[in-house]
């Protein structure tokens, strides 16, 4: 992903704010919406969440209530507690957990681990993991340096219902950026409600199926995305979101995608790239590790002119196996035969990621 210097954000917000239906829906590659088939889903709060804030369990219930009160056709979220030790991953238990360290989260404030049927899009498991790297609060007045846990949980619940990060409407709950001390977004906006309604209202329930399809994003509507570039935006250089732009909000402490939080974004190979290269995925092998998928991707660069390796090998969290897709923080894992975009700098190549915090281990071969 390539970052552009922030500038004149207020003007960008003016143009973008006039848009409607900017919500992002998750879809499989065969066009099926990623959604629940049930009319009611259970969400279990792990006892560890009190480490984030003593009122964290109440924040989960409040977030669920905000979504439940909206007439969207989505399944009702019933929140329960447990003394049983839970772990994130595909185990048919939808949970909210706090982890001091959770490798797949990278620099994110929180991530949703979503597992669904490859072909039908039916969600079979959703876990929200709150990162212990940051300080949280559930009060109505939050000091700088702390993040609004009510906002974080309500946002992640939107992911668990099938919404992706909103890239343009800053007042949307699903907007992909936040700042410490901000308590302004705790409930779904009209755009968020329209997005979930588009997923569930008058839609047939998914049918059981298998297969091997990756997931892609789908916009609720089109709009003047190119205007954002003039005012400083972050470009998503991936094929499934081509011509989409993510407004860079002027945050002194935290700018995030999928609730990424970082004091100052660390430069990555893709952010400092001098040029880009297309590569074909020649191998994509996933395996289960304690309910989580890990994938080894081998990519063959095409059309390189100088010092390109014969292949680039990457290991990432998430993937496709046994008829299921698992995505963590919304990052889609490419499959064999897909073309991906690589960024090059200092003679090295790495895949351009939709989520800058997404954890990946890279190695390079000549």
DSSP labels, 105-131? GTTBSEEEEEEEETTT-BEEEEEEEEE
190, 319: one domain: no
45, 194: one domain: yes
73, 194: one domain: yes
163, 310: one domain: no
Q: Does 237 fall in a domain? A: no
Residue 254 vs residue 21, higher pLDDT = 21
pLDDT at position 120 is: 95
Answer with the one of 199, 222, 245 that is the final residue of a domain.
222
Q: List, for residues 239-265, the tens digit of each pLDDT value.
A: 333 333 223 322 222 323 334 333 323
169, 52: one domain: yes
162, 291: one domain: no
pLDDT at position 252 is: 23
334 pLDDT exceeds 50?
A: yes
Q: Does 322 fall in a domain? A: yes
Q: Check if the beta carbon of residue 108 is closer than 8 Å to that of residue 261.
A: yes
Q: Check if the beta carbon of residue 157 is closer than 8 Å to that of residue 67.
A: yes
The count of domains in the chain is 2
Q: Does 140 fall in a domain? A: yes
Answer with the one of 188, 207, 222 that is the final residue of a domain.
222
Name, in order, each residue with C-beta under 8 angstroms of 251's C-beta and a sequence gap of 6 or more.
177, 178, 179
Residue 45 vs residue 359, higher pLDDT = 45
190, 296: one domain: no
Q: Check if the beta carbon of residue 253 is closer than 8 Å to that of residue 145.
A: yes
Answer with the one of 186, 207, 222 that is the final residue of a domain.
222
24, 153: one domain: yes
Distance between CA 82 and CA 2 in Å, rounded? 43
176, 294: one domain: no
Residue 60 domain boundaries = 18-222
Q: Does 242 fall in a domain? A: no
Query: β-strands 311-317, 360-365: how paired?
Result: antiparallel
Q: How far apart are the first and last CA of the chain?
A: 24
Q: List, for residues 288-328, the tens digit of each pLDDT value.
A: 999 999 999 999 998 776 677 889 999 999 999 999 999 99
Q: List, for residues 68-118, the tens digit of each pLDDT value.
A: 999 999 999 999 999 998 999 999 999 999 999 999 988 889 999 999 999
Structure tokens, 9: 């954000």
CATH of the domain at 95: 3.40.390.10
Q: Does 243 fall in a domain? A: no
Q: What is the mean pLDDT of residues 158-181?
A: 91
- Average pLDDT of the chain to the nearest whole number: 76
| Burial class of residue 211, CB neighbours in 10 A (0-12, 13-18, 19+) | middle
Helix (H) or strand (E) holding 13, with range, is helix 9-17
Q: Does 299 fall in a domain? A: yes
Q: Does 119 fall in a domain? A: yes
357 pLDDT exceeds 80?
A: no
Distance between CA 66 and CA 49 in Å, rounded? 19
Name residue, tokens 């143009």: 15
Three-point CA angle 65, 71, 72, nearest 5°: 100
Q: Check if the beta carbon of residue 350 is closer than 8 Å to that of residue 365.
A: no
208, 280: one domain: no
56, 202: one domain: yes
Name, in order, each residue with C-beta under 8 angstroms of 205's C-beta and a sequence gap of 6 or more.
37, 122
pLDDT at position 76 is: 97
């Amino acid at each position: 992903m390539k970052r552009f210097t922030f500038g004149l954000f207020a003007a960008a917000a003016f143009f973008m704010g006039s848009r409607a239906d900017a919500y992002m829906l998750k879809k499989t590659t065969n066009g099926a919406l990623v959604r629940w088939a049930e009319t009611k889903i259970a969400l279990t709060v792990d006892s560890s969440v009190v480490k984030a804030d003593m009122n964290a369990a109440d924040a989960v219930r409040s977030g669920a209530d905000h979504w439940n009160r909206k007439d969207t056709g989505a399944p009702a979220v019933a929140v329960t507690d447990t003394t049983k030790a839970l772990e994130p991953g595909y185990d048919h238990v939808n949970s909210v957990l706090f982890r001091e360290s959770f490798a797949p989260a990278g620099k994110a404030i929180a991530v949703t681990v979503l597992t669904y049927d490859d072909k039908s899009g039916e969600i079979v498991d959703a876990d929200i993991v709150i990162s212990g790297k940051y300080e949280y609060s559930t009060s109505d007045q939050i000091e700088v340096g702390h993040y609004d846990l009510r906002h974080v949980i309500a946002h992640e619940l939107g992911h668990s219902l099938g919404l992706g990060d909103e890239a343009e409407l800053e007042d949307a709950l699903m907007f992909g950026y936040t700042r410490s001390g901000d308590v302004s977004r705790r409930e779904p906006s009209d755009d968020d409600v329209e997005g979930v309604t588009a997923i569930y209202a008058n839609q047939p329930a998914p049918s059981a199926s298998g297969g091997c399809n990756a997931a892609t994003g789908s916009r609720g509507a089109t709009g003047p995305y190119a205007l954002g570039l003039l005012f400083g935006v972050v470009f998503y250089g991936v094929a499934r979101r081509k011509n989409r732009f993510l407004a860079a909000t002027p945050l002194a402490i935290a700018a995030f995608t999928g609730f990424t939080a970082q004091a100052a974004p660390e430069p990555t190979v893709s952010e400092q790239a001098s040029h880009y290269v297309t590569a074909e995925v020649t191998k994509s092998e996933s395996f289960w590790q304690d309910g989580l998928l890990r994938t080894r991707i081998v990519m063959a660069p095409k059309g390189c002119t100088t010092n390109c390796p014969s292949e680039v090998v990457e290991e990432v969290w998430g993937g496709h196996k046994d008829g299921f897709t698992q995505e963590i923080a919304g990052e889609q894992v490419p499959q064999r035969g897909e073309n991906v975009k690589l960024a090059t700098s200092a003679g090295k190549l790495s895949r351009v990621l939709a989520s800058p915090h997404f954890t990946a281990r890279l190695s390079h071969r000549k």
